[in-house]
Amino acid sequence: MDAMPQIKKRGEPSLLGEALAGLMSQGKAGLEQRSRLADRIRTLWGQLLPPELSQHCRVVDLSQGLLTVEADSPSYMYEVRISSSQLIGFLRQGCPQAKIRAIKTILTA
């Protein structure tokens, strides 16, 4: 005959609650850190590009070292692409924790 499942003690749900609270606070801290990192990258981006180019190109995502930049014209996309090696170098220097390895340019829809 199969063994009967054990009845959980009354104190166990509070342990689950504590664990969930810990996970929530870790998640919040991670989101805050990611937000600060994104702000730093956007600030650097605005400082690195000439005003004409920065008006037409904006950072839209950073994921796993890939910085996605949106441009409103193919000519501005091209400008970012030909400067990407230099931009990556400056961004790595200004914000090493972002670990940027590449820039992907996309056209504004």
CATH topology (fold) of 12-107: GMP Synthetase; Chain A, domain 3 (3.30.300)
Q: What is the pTM of this model?
A: 0.71
Q: pLDDT digits over 23-82, tens only?
A: 666 666 667 788 888 899 999 999 999 999 999 999 999 999 999 999 999 999 999 999
Q: pLDDT digits over 72-93, tens only?
A: 999 999 999 999 999 999 999 9
Question: What is the torsion angle, in degrees rounded to the nearest 10, for the CA atoms of residue 22, residue 28, residue 33 and residue 34?
Answer: 120
Q: Are 88 and 101 in contact (CB under 8 A)?
A: yes
84 vs 3, which has greater pLDDT? 84
pLDDT at position 26? 62
Structural domain spans, the chain: 12-107
| Statement: residue 19 has pLDDT above 90 | no
What would the 3-class secondary structure string for the chain be? CCCCCCCCCCCHHHHHHHHHHHHHHHHHHHHHHHHHHHHHHHHHHHHHCCHHHHCCEEEEEEECCEEEEEECCHHHHHHHHHHHHHHHHHHHHHCHHHCCCEEEEEECC
